[in-house]
Amino acid sequence: MAKRINQSDKAYKALRNKLLAQSIKPGQRLTEQACAQEFDVNRSDIRQALARLEVEGMVTRGAKGGVFARTYTENDVRQTTYVRMALETAAVQLAINNATPAQLAQLDEIAEHMMMMAENAYDMGFSEADIRFHQCLVEAAHNEALTRTYLLANIPLSMAQPAPHDKIRQQLLQNANEHQQIAQAIRHKNAERAIELLQKGLETLLPQLENRNSSGQKG
């Protein structure tokens, strides 16, 4: 029984991270068979994982059946950006004193992986690593209430638009560098610097949303 629960949890976490990173696109249909093959679990494990994700509002049931990745509005993303700012600011302040050496090392490793993804302009791999970085940061706070609340703010913070390869690479490299600095700031107990970098990264999403909205209205 424990193994089956672990397999279901494995499928849930893998699906959840792909939905957050938008490796699974909004509106994309999720089939039990395809997901079971991808994550090497049974269809029953996928069924349980999808049920959990439906309760959380990350997937929806189609009118004629089937499960689909939820489509988010710009307002959804904007509101969650402000929530993330508050929660991650609190997480940094707690992680400064509570993070274990293993968690500090994990933040460094994930940031290094983000840089590797950025150098190759692999935006999907970068997004998945970005999700792991922020989850690790929140876990390093060692505050269960904060972690539960953070997990409820579970919508993608990306409204990506097509861009030239060089521009994507430049943006990812800058983002990866900022994450490396965040990890170092936490290691050196510099909460002010870590919070400054976190808020800078989140705030850049807001004008992108405004620009996207304005472009849509002109079209």
52 and 154 share one domain:
no
78 and 164 share one domain:
yes
> Which CATH number characterizes residue 12's domain?
1.10.10.10
Lowest-confidence region among 55-59, 130-134, 157-161: 157-161
The region, left, alpha or beta by phi > 0 then psi within -120 to 50, assigned to residue 130 is alpha
pLDDT at 115 over 90: yes
Q: What pLDDT score does 164 carry?
A: 61
> Which CATH number characterizes residue 82's domain?
1.20.120.530
Q: How far apart are CA 183 and CA 143, in angstroms?
A: 19
Q: What pLDDT score does 208 carry?
A: 55
113 and 178 share one domain:
yes
pLDDT at 174 over 50: yes
Q: What pLDDT score does 79 carry?
A: 86
- Which residue among 51, 69, 87 closes a domain? 69
- Which residue among 19, 42, 69 closes a domain? 69
Residues contacting 113, CB < 8 A, separation 6+: 129
181 and 81 share one domain:
yes
Flag whether 217 is in a domain. no
pLDDT at 160 over 80: no
pLDDT at 162 over 60: no
User: 67-87: b or e for each residue (b if 16 or more CB lie within 10 Å)?
Assistant: bbbbebeeeebbebbeebbeb
Q: Work out the pLDDT band at 5, boundaries 50, 70, 90.
A: low
Q: Work out the pLDDT band at 163, boundaries 50, 70, 90.
A: low
169 and 194 share one domain:
yes
Q: What pLDDT score does 215 carry?
A: 45
Q: What pLDDT score does 21 carry?
A: 83
Q: Work out the pLDDT band at 202, boundaries 50, 70, 90.
A: confident
Which tens digit of pLDDT belongs to each residue from 20-47? 888 898 899 999 999 999 999 999 999 9
How many domains are there within the chain? Answer: 2
Lowest-confidence region among 11-15, 78-82, 140-144, 191-195: 78-82
H-type alpha helices, 99-143 = 101-119, 123-139
- Which residue among 69, 91, 113 closes a domain? 69
